Amino acid sequence: MQPLPTHAPGAQARLGTTLSGKWRLDKVLGVGGVATVFLVTHRNQSRAALKLLHPEQAQNPTVRERFVHEGYTANSIEHPGVVRVIDDDISEDGLPYLVMELLEGETLEDRAYRHGDSLPAGEVLALADQLLDVLIVAHEKRVVHRDLKPDNLFLTREGRLKVLDFGIARLTQAVPHRDVTAVGTLLGTPSFMPPEQARSRWEEVDAQSDLYSVGATMFTLLTGKLVREAETLTEQLALAIHEPAPKLASVDKTLDPSVCALVDQALAYEKKHRFADARAMLSEVRRVRELVPPPLSSSLSSPPDGRRPPRVSQEMPTLLESGRVPIAAAPARDSKPITIAIERRVATLLVLGLLVAAAFVLWLLRKPEQSALTPSAPSATAVAAPLPAPPPRERERQQQPPQRPQEEEPMSAPAPVLEAAAPNAAPRRVTTPPTPASVSAAASTSAPPASNPPAPANSSDPFSSRY
């Protein structure tokens, strides 16, 4: 049901007013073709949803009577899975209104969208179990819903399924002069209605018609696709009249065969091939549930904070006319501080990695000089401290290769950090080169053992206290 902008200004103008001296209109929750739904506060500070009939609809005595009667019908079912009507009255300007319980949670359409357009088979079966339990009671009291679909099924935060908009199709019979486009959702929703309802054979629309809609709802929740895909509502209506529903396995071959058989029977084109009643279908649902992995214990509860962004759809939910109250979306969390923290941690790790790599390169440069027992290491002294050039005679001695003994003890690994060398030792090593044996002895007694380079003093992670 698409919003009607012509009613929006009048609805906004009513905000802040009080109806019957007890219900203050706080916010417009939705505007439909029959009524406007407001978030209201009672004079005792309790909150609810109030549905106020449009002035032009209130001029029709039949529509007016049926509007109030629908509220009584919902209460007559006396099932916790039906939205309760807690008050009804006439406004000061003569418009009837219904006050319904305030729901917190999400529709099954929203829930499926939040989970990637489909739900696990175990969860869908559990939801169908609750829905059919409501329909058993409703059908026994001769109440037929006629517009069951994911957007008319509401899952509360406690995991209770609530059926919205009971008997909304009855309003269609009171306004037969309107065209199908204008009252499309009053007739039902083409993607979920059975062939007899699509043909407007109202004398044939009964409890089995609701079971067809249950099957279409399960089909969509399981696959993320409509039973009849089309560009327009008129084309969907034509397909509903002439085309049988596709087999569930043809859309998703991964589903359990018992689940496919259940849904296919509910979607049978001819009523005689469908389940005889809601009790028979519920029995089969519970049998199949034994064969399918159950949903997680917390999977049937609604998200604690926020909902998905609203989608634009050809079919606005008729649930706004039954008092469904959308939950305000929680503000989006700012991800900027988290991003900055990650970037700083990465930068710190990169700096530490570069320092370790630099120390390792210096150690590699030092290693061949030590293994050759060269008494003077220009690259090392360049790091430790600049040294004066040796005398010519000494330079000749340095250029001669040292005599290696026949058997030499292996040298201990040199220290990778050259700054650790004593600053006064370098001149002595240049002016009086030690023998290879003395070099080995000095290395074994004075050089620190090879180890990982010490971390810089400022290398601690600034976020270590947070993580």
Return per-residue pLDDT of the chain as tens, 467 residues. Answer: 444 445 666 888 999 999 999 999 999 988 877 889 899 999 999 999 999 999 998 998 888 888 888 788 888 899 999 998 999 999 999 999 999 999 888 999 999 999 999 999 999 999 999 999 999 999 999 999 988 999 889 999 999 999 987 755 444 444 443 333 334 334 678 999 999 999 989 889 999 999 999 999 999 999 999 999 888 888 989 999 999 999 999 999 999 999 999 999 999 999 999 999 999 999 999 999 999 988 875 556 655 444 444 333 333 333 333 333 333 333 333 333 333 344 555 566 777 878 888 887 777 776 655 554 444 444 443 344 444 555 555 555 555 555 554 444 444 444 444 444 444 444 444 444 444 444 443 444 444 444 444 444 444 444 334 33
In-domain check, residue 414: no
For residue 70, what pLDDT is reported?
76
Note whether 97 and 140 are same-domain residues: yes
Per the structure, how many domains does the chain have? Answer: 2
In-domain check, residue 455: yes
Note whether 355 and 219 are same-domain residues: no
Inter-residue contact 385 to 413 (CB < 8 Å): no
Note whether 266 and 357 are same-domain residues: no
In-domain check, residue 413: no
For residue 164, what pLDDT is reported?
86
In-domain check, residue 405: no
How far apart, in whole angstroms, are the C-alpha atoms of residue 336 and residue 362? 39
Instruction: Kindly list the distances between the CA atom of residue 240 and the CA atoms of 128, 193, 197, in Å, as whole numbers in the listed order.
Output: 22, 7, 9
CATH code, domain with 18: 1.10.510.10
Q: Which residues share a beta bridge with 50? A: 38, 99
For residue 63, what pLDDT is reported?
83
For residue 365, what pLDDT is reported?
75
For residue 399, what pLDDT is reported?
52
163 phi/psi in degrees, rounded to 5:
-95, 130
Inter-residue contact 16 to 24 (CB < 8 Å): yes
Note whether 229 and 358 are same-domain residues: no
Instruction: Kindly list the distances between the CA atom of residue 68 and the CA atoms of 17, 75, 172, in Å, as whole numbers in the listed order.
Output: 22, 11, 15
Helix or strand or coil: residue 208?
A: helix
How far apart, in whole angstroms, are the C-alpha atoms of residue 120 and residue 150? 15
* Residue in the block written with tokens 């003395």: 438
Give the type of residue at 113.
Answer: Y
Domain that holds residue 360: 340-384+451-462
Two tokens at 413? 């690994």
Two tokens at 67? 């509007």
Note whether 256 and 347 are same-domain residues: no
Note whether 229 and 287 are same-domain residues: yes
In-domain check, residue 373: yes
For residue 196, what pLDDT is reported?
95
How far apart, in whole angstroms, are the C-alpha atoms of residue 420 and residue 422? 6
C-alpha Rg value of the chain to the nearest Å: 40
In-domain check, residue 276: yes
Note whether 347 and 311 are same-domain residues: no
In-domain check, residue 12: yes
Note whether 353 and 220 are same-domain residues: no
Give the type of residue at 115.
Answer: H
Two tokens at 223? 């696959």
Note whether 133 and 268 are same-domain residues: yes
Answer yes or no: pTM beyond 0.95: no
In-domain check, residue 411: no
Domain final residue pick, 322, 356, 373 = 322
Positions marked catalytic: 147
Note whether 303 and 345 are same-domain residues: no
Residue-wise DSSP of 109-139: HHHHHHTTS---HHHHHHHHHHHHHHHHHHH
Note whether 211 and 348 are same-domain residues: no
Q: Quote the strand ranges of 248-391, DSSP E.
A: none
Note whether 226 and 359 are same-domain residues: no
**Phi-psi bin for 87: left (phi > 0), alpha (psi -120 to 50), beta?**
beta
